[in-house]
């Protein structure tokens, strides 16, 4: 299941060591984006045929590299794996997919296979294209039209070539949750039928459309029978951050193929659940276009699924449901972390999560007879196939209007048109539209991101990787009443994918009063959480500003040419660089302000670190300070936290209650970090004695209720944890010990009261309403809401422990907060080192 602004740097000094908040992780430097077409304004003044020719001239690389279809290749089979969890269900194991795809390519000239990337566990990701054959010239023409649709939508809307010849891109994404298997098998069956069918309708379908199948988005989980990939990540929560290779591969498919329609096949909800969803609806995309298409396709899928003839009495299968029509709330499409909601920002005007009905995973997998599991999987495969086929019927019937609506999405962004609120007039044929369905936003004229920092470079690269257009100032300029230096980045919101830009950079909205429950997170602002300064400019003209488009952020890595070197530790990339140097045996001292002092004799190694992590080593004359050493972390944490710690180059050993009970060698650790999976009461006598002995000599970093509970059990820090509403999440306003404003992220927030002697408040929740964006209500008894948290301690420290009530490493996302944890780990590891 699919279960104007400045962010200040916060430097907290405690016990003479650094305890920090910061900006960024290791910069993800994407390859340069594809060549862009002429601006829409130019194309709109140009005859359509001339605009197409100009576009071809602007993208000469495409003429050299775009190949026709089929694009066949022989795949090397994977070794047979009898432990593949698919086998028990009678489904296709991962090792059988490559041979099957080889066989499908041999059936004719309609099926092509490409490798879209590799999973976290190293498995190939297979993208299958099914379409009528195309020559190289025809494929280049399709690419030029696709580019025109995005980059010159006013011209594309008038193009007879596009109306007559453009093939609608349709994307079927399967098995993103590894233990929701059957979409893969339904797609393989459909591909086989399309490869060989000679009826007129199939021929027409493939002549007028391209069908893209991501055969299994999560092969690691498919093999292991887990929801998550090999890194422990739920990939259907990763699209804002794109921390995982599978998410980046899916993102690239959406950018390159620009699907107008997509299905994301999941399980298991009985009856089959078919989006569109309940409110609240994402406020940054063109929901009038999205709703009319998703509802129409949902009705077709519902009819197809129910038409299979399965019944509750005979088969245990309930009738299909459409949340928009059948539910009040609880299955929203608010955050862009889900595949269909993310796809909408790349021009997909009909995007669905489909939850097939019969549970075969988790407890059912382990307890039901194999015969029953196979019966259920066969039904699920049938249901998924019906949804796929119905979608193809929908595409055939509405091909022209689907492409027109995609063009309109991009046109509105390019010209800065207002959004169209949904109503019975703007979205005819969709029943039950009410004021609860109306979510729109006011787009700023632009965002400005001052350059020159690691955090800014990482954020700009991330925007570009998401196909957001960014320019950079060649001279100082004035905008929105402020003067910005040369090198500042400007994100003009008059661009085709303005929704993508705004959903990433905007603060978001507090929607606590709109609905009682949300499906997942409700706040995610990169502008507040990724450590860069990001200013929203509400209005003004960008005409005449000294701006040039960029395809990658300018590197900021630098090493002073002489003297000792100072490395600030307010950014996770800086922490990673420090840990790199410590691993290399470089002698590093800690300055009174918490920064790292590297001897000038290590300039060559510092230069490598500067290039690798894009960080700055300034010259310094600061003397003295304590010697730093590499920190070894024993971590009972979530997969996202483990991933973030390793991004910062900490030496991490995962632990848990079970690991400690089995006998853990504490000599391999300098500090313990706990947020999940470690229960003091669940430890046996020997494990508890060993843990207590370790904590008598070493420090604890705790996060959330689990970390606070361990602290209470061992009595390190006198602080009473108070748990807020467990459903609450979002971006919160914080205040540091010096009174400076900051922002953080919470998920089931915690705060601390009854603080004992020696306990220092490092951060507090802001007074008033600390929630900037997200969903945070009091619990049913009226407690646990943001009013209770206001002004209370969010992060506390003492000589033996640091406790977080916030989520500074949540799903590897709030990059600007990572260094808080790094500072706490260094503090606790070095405070007891003598």
Write out pLDDT tens, residues 543-570: 999 999 999 999 999 999 999 999 999 9
Give φ, ψ of 24 to 5 degrees: -135, 165
Q: Which of 435, 425, 433, 440 is CA-nearest to residue 325?
A: 433
Q: Which of 211, 599, 161 is CA-nearest to residue 388?
A: 211
Q: What is the pLDDT of residue 624?
A: 85
Cis bond leading into 337, ω under 30°?
A: no
Q: What is the pLDDT of residue 29?
A: 30
**From CA 477, how far away is CA 540, in angstroms rounded?**
13
**From CA 523, how far away is CA 536, in angstroms rounded?**
17
| DSSP codes, 420-489 | ----TTTSTT-TT--GGG-------SEEEE--SSHHHHHHHHHHHHTT--EEEESS-EEETTEEE-TT-E
Residue 534 has pLDDT above 60, yes or no: yes
Task: Report yes or no: 525 and 505 within 8 Å, Cβ to Cβ.
Answer: yes
Residue 538 has pLDDT above 80, yes or no: yes
Bridge partners (DSSP) listed for residue 634: 653, 672
Active-site hit among 286, 355, 408, 723: 355
Task: Report yes or no: 345 and 463 within 8 Å, Cβ to Cβ.
Answer: no
Q: What is the pLDDT of residue 8?
A: 28
What's the pLDDT tens digit per position in 651-702?
Answer: 999 999 999 999 999 999 999 999 999 999 999 999 999 999 999 999 999 9
Residue 12 has pLDDT above 80, yes or no: no
Task: Report yes or no: 675 and 633 within 8 Å, Cβ to Cβ.
Answer: no
Mean pLDDT of the chain: 92
What's the pLDDT tens digit per position in 387-434?
Answer: 999 999 999 999 999 999 999 999 999 999 999 999 999 999 999 999
β-pairing, 535-537 vs 470-473, is: unpaired
Q: Which CATH number fits domain 558-628: 3.30.70, 3.40.50, 1.20.140, 3.50.50?
A: 3.30.70
Banded pLDDT at 623 (limits 50, 70, 90): confident
Lowest mean pLDDT among 14-18, 584-588, 600-604: 14-18
Quickly name the fold that domain 42-149+158-396 has: Aminopeptidase (3.40.630)
Tell me the average pLDDT across 362-384. 98
Residue 71 CB partners (closer than 8 Å, separation 6+): 112, 113, 114, 129
In a 3-state reduction of DSSP, which class is residue 129?
A: strand
Angle at 172 between CA 171 and CA 174, to 5 degrees: 145
Calculate helix-pair angle for 200-208, 370-415, nearest 10 degrees: 50
What's the pLDDT tens digit per position in 691-739?
Answer: 999 999 999 999 999 999 999 999 999 999 999 999 999 999 999 998 8
Residue 588 has pLDDT above 50, yes or no: yes
Q: How is residue 321 annotated by DSSP? A: B
Residue 651 CB partners (closer than 8 Å, separation 6+): 579, 583, 630, 631, 632, 633
**From CA 469, how far away is CA 501, in angstroms rounded?**
8
CATH of domain 632-831: 3.40.50.880
Question: Active site includes 150?
Answer: no
Handedness of CA 799, 804, 808, 810 (dihedral sign): positive
What's the pLDDT tens digit per position in 485-514?
Answer: 999 999 999 999 999 999 999 999 999 999
Q: What is the pLDDT of residue 833?
A: 54
Convert 8-18 to b/e letters by CB count within 10 Å (16 or more is b): ebbbbbbbebb
Query: What's the residue count for the chain?
Result: 834
Handedness of CA 575, 522, 702, 679 (dihedral sign): negative
**From CA 498, how far away is CA 415, in angstroms rounded?**
10
β-pairing, 11-14 vs 671-674, is: unpaired
Q: What is the pLDDT of residue 830?
A: 84
Residue 32 has pLDDT above 50, yes or no: no
Q: Which of 171, 173, 241 is CA-nearest to residue 466?
A: 241
Cα dist. 47→403, 413, 415 in Å? 20, 21, 19
Q: What is the pLDDT of residue 65?
A: 81
**From CA 459, how far away is CA 572, in angstroms rounded?**
13
pLDDT cut 90: percent of the chain above it: 90
DSSP H or E stretch at residue 299: helix 287-306
Q: What is the pLDDT of residue 5?
A: 29
Task: Report yes or no: 59 and 126 within 8 Å, Cβ to Cβ.
Answer: no
Q: How is residue 510 annotated by DSSP? A: B
Q: Which of 678, 670, 633 is CA-nearest to residue 652?
A: 633
Q: What is the pLDDT of residue 49?
A: 41
**From CA 392, how far away is CA 405, in angstroms rounded?**
17
In angstroms, what is the C-alpha Rg of the chain? 27
pLDDT cut 70: percent of the chain above it: 92
Cα dist. 804→93, 717, 751, 760, 817 in Å? 42, 12, 8, 12, 12
DSSP H or E stretch at residue 314: helix 312-315
Q: What is the pLDDT of residue 378?
A: 98
Residue 567 CB partners (closer than 8 Å, separation 6+): 574, 577, 578, 595, 596, 597, 598, 606, 615, 616, 617, 618
In a 3-state reduction of DSSP, which class is residue 623?
A: coil
Q: What is the pLDDT of residue 697?
A: 93
**From CA 679, how far away is CA 110, in angstroms rounded?**
56
Residue 60 has pLDDT above 80, yes or no: no
In a 3-state reduction of DSSP, which class is residue 712?
A: helix
Q: What is the pLDDT of residue 34?
A: 31
Task: Report yes or no: 770 and 790 within 8 Å, Cβ to Cβ.
Answer: yes
**From CA 704, how far away is CA 714, in angstroms rounded?**
16
Residue with the two structure tokens 């949904």: 422
**From CA 724, how far away is CA 629, in angstroms rounded?**
37
Calculate helix-pair angle for 818-831, 639-647, nearest 10 degrees: 80
**From CA 430, how far away is CA 428, in angstroms rounded?**
6
Phi-psi region of 242 (alpha: psi -120 to 50; beta: other; left: phi over 0): left
**From CA 604, how far away is CA 611, in angstroms rounded?**
11
Q: Token pair of 252, please?
A: 């690239």
**From CA 672, how far away is CA 770, in angstroms rounded?**
30
Lowest mean pLDDT among 37-51, 361-375, 377-391, 766-780: 37-51
In a 3-state reduction of DSSP, which class is residue 34?
A: coil
Residue 141 has pLDDT above 70, yes or no: yes
**From CA 27, how far away is CA 116, in angstroms rounded?**
22
Task: Report yes or no: 764 and 793 within 8 Å, Cβ to Cβ.
Answer: yes
């Amino acid at each position: 299941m699919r279960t104007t602004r400045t962010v200040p740097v916060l430097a907290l000094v405690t016990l003479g060591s650094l305890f920090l908040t910061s900006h960024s992780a290791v910069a993800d430097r994407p390859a340069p984006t594809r060549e862009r077409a002429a601006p829409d304004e130019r194309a709109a003044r140009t005859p359509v045929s001339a605009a197409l020719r100009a576009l071809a001239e602007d993208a000469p690389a495409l003429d050299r590299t775009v190949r026709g279809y089929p694009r066949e290749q022989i795949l090397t089979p994977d070794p047979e794996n009898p432990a593949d969890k698919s086998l028990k269900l009678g489904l296709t194991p991962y090792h059988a997919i490559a041979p099957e795809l080889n066989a499908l390519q041999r059936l004719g000239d309609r099926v092509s296979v490409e490798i879209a990337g590799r999973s976290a566990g190293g498995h190939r990701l297979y993208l299958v294209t099914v379409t009528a054959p195309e020559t190289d010239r025809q494929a280049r023409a399709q690419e030029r039209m696709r580019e025109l649709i995005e980059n010159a939508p006013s011209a594309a809307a008038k193009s007879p070539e596009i109306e007559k010849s453009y093939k609608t891109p349709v994307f079927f994404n399967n098995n993103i949750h590894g233990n929701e298997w059957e979409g893969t098998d339904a797609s393989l069956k459909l591909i086989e039928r399309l490869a060989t069918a000679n009826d007129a309708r199939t021929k027409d379908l493939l002549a007028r459309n391209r069908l893209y199948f991501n055969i299994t988005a999560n092969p690691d989980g498919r093999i292991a029978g887990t929801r998550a990939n090999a890194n422990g990540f739920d990939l259907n929560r990763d699209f804002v951050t794109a921390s995982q290779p599978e998410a980046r591969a899916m993102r690239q498919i959406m950018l390159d193929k620009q699907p107008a329609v997509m299905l994301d096949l999941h399980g298991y909800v009985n009856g089959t659940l078919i989006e569109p969803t309940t409110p609240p609806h994402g406020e940054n995309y063109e929901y009038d276009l999205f709703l009319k298409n998703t509802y129409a396709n949902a009705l077709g899928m519902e009819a197809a699924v129910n038409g299979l003839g399965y019944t509750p009495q005979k088969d245990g299968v309930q009738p299909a449901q459409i949340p928009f029509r059948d539910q009040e709330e609880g299955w929203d499409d608010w955050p862009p972390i889900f595949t269909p909601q993310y796809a909408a920002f790349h021009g997909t005007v009909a995007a669905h999560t489909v939850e097939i009905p019969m549970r075969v995973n988790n407890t059912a997998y382990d307890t039901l007879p194999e015969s029953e599991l196979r019966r259920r999987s066969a039904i699920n495969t049938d249901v998924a196939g019906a949804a796929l086929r119905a979608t193809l019927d929908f595409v055939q019937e509405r091909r022209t209007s689907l492409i027109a609506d995609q063009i309109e999405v991009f046109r509105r962004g390019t010209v800065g048109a207002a959004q169209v609120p949904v109503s019975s007039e703007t979205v005819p044929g969709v029943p039950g539209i009410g004021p609860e369905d109306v979510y729109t936003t006011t787009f700023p004229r632009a965002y400005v991101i001052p350059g020159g920092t690691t955090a800014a470079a990482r954020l700009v690269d991330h925007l570009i990787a998401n196909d957001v257009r960014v320019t950079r100032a060649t001279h100082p300029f004035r905008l929105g009443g402020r003067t910005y230096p040369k090198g500042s980045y400007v994100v003009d919101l008059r661009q085709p994918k303005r929704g993508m830009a705004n959903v990433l950079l905007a603060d978001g909205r507090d929607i606590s009063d709109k609905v009682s429950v949300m499906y997942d997170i409700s706040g995610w602002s990169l502008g507040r959480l990724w450590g860069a300064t990001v200013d929203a400019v509400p209005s003004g003209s960008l005409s005449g500003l000294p701006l040039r488009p960029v395809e990658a952020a300018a590197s900021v890595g630098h090493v002073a040419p002489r003297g000792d070197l100072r490395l600030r530790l307010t950014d996770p990339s800086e922490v990673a660089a420090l840990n790199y140097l410590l691993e290399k045996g470089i002698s590093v001292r800690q300055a009174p302000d918490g920064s790292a002092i590297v001897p000038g004799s290590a300039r060559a190694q510092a230069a490598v670190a500067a290039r690798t992590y894009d960080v700055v080593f300034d010259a310094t004359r600061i003397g003295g300070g304590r010697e730093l050493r590499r920190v070894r972390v024993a971590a009972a944490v979530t997969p996202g936290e483990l991933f973030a710690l390793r991004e910062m180059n900490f030496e991490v050993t995962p632990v848990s209650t079970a690991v400690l009970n089995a006998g853990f060698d504490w000599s391999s650790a300098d500090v313990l970090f706990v947020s999940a999976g470690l229960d003091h009461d669940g430890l046996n006598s020997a494990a508890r004695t060993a843990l207590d002995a370790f904590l008598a000599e070493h420090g604890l970093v705790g996060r959330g209720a689990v970390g606070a509970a361990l602290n209470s059990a061992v009595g390190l820090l006198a602080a009473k944890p108070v748990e807020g509403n467990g459903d609450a999440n979002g971006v919160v306003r914080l205040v540091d010990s010096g009174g400076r404003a900051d922002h953080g992220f919470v998920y089931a927030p915690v705060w601390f009261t009854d603080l004992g002697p020696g306990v220092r408040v490092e951060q507090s929740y802001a007074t008033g309403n600390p929630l900037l964006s997200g969903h945070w209500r009091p619990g049913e008894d009226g407690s646990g809401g943001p009013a209770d948290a206001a002004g209370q301690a969010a992060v506390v420290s003492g000589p033996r422990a640091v406790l977080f009530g916030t989520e500074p490493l949540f799903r590897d996302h709030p990059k600007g907060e990572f260094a808080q944890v790094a500072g706490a780990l260094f503090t606790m590891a070095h405070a007891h080192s003598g």
